[in-house]
Chains A and B, each alone.
Chain A
Amino acid sequence: MRARTPDREGVVQRDGVRVAFEVFGHGEPALLLIPASPITHARSWKGIVPSLARRFTVITTDGRGTGRSDRPHTSECYAPAEVTADLLAVLDAAGVDLAFLVAHCHAVPWALCLAADHPERVAGLLAIDPAVAVAPPHPHTLEPDRRWADAVDAPSGWAMRNRHFWRQDGGYREWIEFFFGQQLPEPHSTKQYEDTVGWALDTDAEAMIAEREGRAAPAGSEAEALCRRVRCPVRVLHGSDDRCQPVARGRRLAELTGGDLVVLEGAGHLPHGRDPVKVTRLITGFVDRITGAPMYTTTWTRGPCRPRRALFLSSPIGLGHARRDVAVAKELKRLRPELEIDWLAQHPVTTVLEAEGERIHPASQWLASESAHVASEAAGHDLHCFQALRRMDEILVANFMVFQEVVEEGRYDLVIGDEAWDVDYYWHENPELKRGQNVWLTDFVGYLPMPDGGEREAFLTTDYNAEMIEHIDRYPWIRDRAIFVGQDHDIVPDTFGGSLPAIRDWTTRHFSYSGYITGFTPPEPDEVAPLRSELGYRDDELVCVVAVGGSGVGQALIDKVAAAYPLAKKAVPELRMIVVTGPRIDPAAFPQRAGLELRGYVHRLYQHLCVCDLAIVQGGLTTTMELTAAKRPFLYFPLGHHFEQNFHVRHRLDRYGAGHCMDYATTDPDLIAAHITELAGKPVSYRDVETDGAARAAQLIAELI
């Protein structure tokens, strides 16, 4: 799912060639983002568009030759005059008189032409890794470029940049895979690599050849003259390890235009993809410098006069963490009564927070929905959560930028992130942005590959684990405290992959253990009957609660269990089944069945789980552990390809001797009915779940303030 969808889409058509554009936001001034098409297109800006669009009007185009634009195959169609005319037409169509241009690589000469020839339309130019021939190219590109039109036999490396090779079967793809491998020298860039290769394959070799031969970018003195004609402010960003364009070109461009140069040390050719936070801030800073940063009426509170405040981020995927985070917050307020806690949170967590009277920061409204993304990634009873997390990259960066603005106001002593992946990742990637003490909570450590993902998935999970380990190793001061919600034995016996350490050993070295946090105390045996009666359940009925957690994933399981209901009811006449669809699935979406009760969001669902005679749930940790703590029999169905539910949660439940793990794919309604008949109301013997987890976690946090 995209972090932000356009407010307006359109197409301009010139001489029969259609060029697509999108407009995001309504603020001033306007920014026109120009990709180096057709090798890439508008989606290459995905890491920076959502946060820029909160302040500015952002216009993206695909550029002729790719994306949703036409793909002419004649080189004349790619002359600079054509491309710049497209861009002017896009500005006209978007109703924008004056814009800042942000251009990448060989889009920079187009932007320079626009700025020089139409100064009344261009407020400033930000050039990223400019392909402007005002300094020599990389030596490794000289020979391939000289032999571009020659029939080269079985080329490799840069020599694959060759017209004949691209026309060979698979040649263009091979070139693209090599090229983007070169452009992302930063370790752990697998997602950016997959993205850029994918966008490059959105066009075809003929369009690429036509563009390359029609490009006619100025060189030497002609290029210098073009730069000198630019009158608007210029900023150049250039990666020190850019293998496409040498830094000398960026430096010379800045000199010739009187602009400033920001060298991104250690960065390659795609900093807007690999370092989106820094690039966004450099763009914003540039625009602010020229237009004047808004100076709002505001309050600054003297340091000594500030109340102690914490910002709590609760992982918004489902409801898993909301209950425990509220419990930790309440314990923390008991230990530090003066502490004020704000929540940066999104639906469905806000449902719980509002019901508990917690204070939600108004910036929460700007967060892109992680739950909706996860729901969009699920199919039936299957959710590849590792890949879903990878594909959530643009949502994470968009939400991080919201978070960073909130903490930069400087009001928070403490940030508590319960699996706030965005904060943890981007503060390690941009350590200078850290504000306040930082607490990291999680209930699992380590990405694990699903067996059918093969070597590729094992490579990817290892790479992600390695990046996390390197983050902690390099910047141990980013996490002031890391808390594992559980005990050491809850951690899987696996390693992080490859030659990386064992997960449990490493976690013990870097985390404190709080024990499990249920967020409530299960009822004593003599409290069960009154609670049952309070919730409307009779003693002479067997109550089966079916719950699918708080995310939008669960329809498939509900359908299957609902089909089992008539069979089970026949065998167990005293059965009463209550299906809780949760806050993100509409109960009305299911067909009515006689006797079957459907409910949406149920506040304090754990109370129902605590007194039920049987529960049927997914493999999420929170719900299964609630049932474990309350010692209720339950069936759980881990989502397919969900490594956390299949490995981490299952390992923990096995340790507690809790629940019956079921395989969704091979389970039919008859089998579910048989299990209901066998297990409902039967006693269980699980290991006790600790009840002081929230207090222990709160104590670990309180020590920091």
Chain B
Amino acid sequence: MRARYPDSDGIVVRDGVEIRYERYGQGWPAILLLPTWSIVHSRHWKMQVPYLARHFTVVCFDGRGSGGSGRPADASAYSDIAFASDAVAVMDAAGIDSAVLVSVSCGAFWALRLCAEHPDRVLGSVFIAPTAPLVPPLAVRRVQRFDKVLDDPVGWQTYNAHYWKTNYPEFVTFFVGRIFIEQHSTKQIEDAIGWALEIDGETLAAAHRGLECCDAAATRRLAARAACPVLVMHGTHDALRGHAEGEALADCTGGALVTLAGAGHFPHARDPVRVNLLIKQFADRVRR
């Protein structure tokens, strides 16, 4: 059973892709919990929704490729612009003029695009463990070769289109294990693996390719245009996106940085209380 069910839900169709969204609560301002990479769907916000919905209007949606949303096969359907446009369409459908954005990981790409290109719709933006390629990636990930056929890939080499065709569940197990490096994270790991297995390797590969345009230059350009209040939180033990990425993004946007010492890549799932309080504090501040 869920801790809280949506007060309303719906589907918007954009460019032929169905996007499923949910709306909770009625407080002001609205909080838009953005999708992240399509490997998980909107249930990854399950620890945030019930609390935030007691104070704010909360809207979330399954990102294209995940959950109850459509699964286009073409990589071009997964660009940051596509996700950002979905977000605007969902806000329109849910009757939300403006919102505080909360994003995780590569959700940072669409959050930045919304901040830069739809400033009237954005009151502020919270970035959790952002993917911000403003600094080099973690050293351990430099072995990744996404399109190359590899013999017996291990570790980060399994981040590979060919491997996903045959061994997607093994990749998911590895990948989710890197998300949750904190001790005693079995439930979070089971949840994330379950959500990840709701899609297949080909769809995820398309979602990966759609984001290849999001490079350092594009990120810096968008970040410089983000004028709204920004809060970045980033774990010191994030094994996917280094803490330096969060620092760099806070720096670029003039935002505040909260360092989560000992935390991994999904602090909203592993340390939900602190993350909830930080989101609430930020939204209260924006609300004035």
Contact = CB atoms under 8 A, between A and B. Distances in A.
Interface of A: 289-293, 295-302, 304-305
B254 to A, nearest CB: 11
A195 to B, nearest CB: 36
Interface of B: 182-183, 231, 250, 256-263, 271, 274, 278, 281-282, 284-285, 288
A300 B261 contact: yes
Given A289-B288, A290-B288, A302-B182, A295 B260 contact: no
A302 B261 contact: yes
Contacts, number: 47
Contact of A293 (B250, B259, B285): B285
B262 A299 contact: no
Contacts of A304: 182-183, 262
Contacts of A293: 281, 284-285
The binding surface of chain B is classed by DSSP as mixed
B29 to A, nearest CB: 14
Given A289-B284, A290-B288, A295-B231, A301 B261 contact: yes
Contacts of A300: 258-261, 274, 278
Contacts of B231: 295
Contacts of A299: 258-261
Contact of B256 (A290, A297, A302, A305): A297
Nearest to B261: A301
19 contacts: A289-B288, A290-B288, A293-B281, A293-B284, A293-B285, A295-B256, A295-B281, A295-B282, A297-B256, A298-B256, A299-B261, A300-B258, A301-B260, A301-B262, A302-B182, A302-B260, A302-B261, A302-B262, A304-B262
Given A296-B256, A297-B256, A297-B257, A305 B285 contact: no
A295 to B, nearest CB: 4
A290 B282 CA distance: 13
Nearest 7 pairs of A and B residues by beta carbon = A305-B262, A302-B262, A301-B261, A299-B259, A292-B285, A295-B256, A297-B257
Contacts of B271: 302
A161 to B, nearest CB: 42
A295 B285 contact: yes
Contacts of B183: 304
Contacts of B256: 295-298
Given A292-B285, A296-B256, A305 B261 contact: yes
Contacts of B258: 297-300
A126 to B, nearest CB: 16
Contacts of B282: 295
B26 to A, nearest CB: 19
B285 A298 contact: no
A299 B282 CA distance: 15
A309 B284 CA distance: 31
Given A297-B256, A298-B259, A302-B182, 14 more contacts: A289-B284, A289-B288, A291-B288, A293-B285, A295-B231, A295-B281, A295-B285, A296-B256, A297-B258, A299-B260, A300-B259, A300-B261, A300-B274, A301-B260
A289 B258 CA distance: 20
A296 B282 CA distance: 11
B58 to A, nearest CB: 21
Contacts of B257: 297
A293 B271 CA distance: 22
A296 B259 CA distance: 11
Given A295-B256, A295-B281, A295-B282, A302 B250 contact: no
Contacts of B182: 302, 304
Contacts of A297: 250, 256-259
A299 to B, nearest CB: 4
A300 B236 CA distance: 10
B207 to A, nearest CB: 30
